[in-house]
Amino acid sequence: MTEAIIAYVLANILDVVSTKKVLKNGGEELNPILRSAMDKGGNKWVALKFMLAGIALGIFLYFNLIWAVWIGAAVFAVVAVNNFRIAKKLKD
């Protein structure tokens, strides 16, 4: 279980780092909820993202859905990898 939580948290951090890289290189956020938070200014979107991810993690753990934690980690990791690819393309 601990490994799943670590993977989930690290994948979320990589998602934020990669999203910031995309934005820095002229890209945009595709998630309408986070985009709305970004439009309000500052890094409030980061707090919102971590809060939503934390709520989801809490629900998964409460119901002992470790498989869902692993799937969430995988989804966030795939998003992060894709973001890093997009950021590289935008930079080139």
Q: Is the pLDDT of residue 44 over 90?
A: no
Length in residues, the chain: 92
Give the per-residue pLDDT at 1: 83
pTM for the whole thing?
0.91
Report how many domains make up the chain.
Answer: 1
Give the per-residue pLDDT at 40: 87
Give the per-residue pLDDT at 42: 81
pLDDT digits (tens, 9 = 90+) for 4-25: 999 999 999 999 999 999 999 9
Distance CA 16, CA 33 (A): 14
Q: Which domain holds residue 17?
A: 2-91
CB 8 within 8 A of CB 71: no
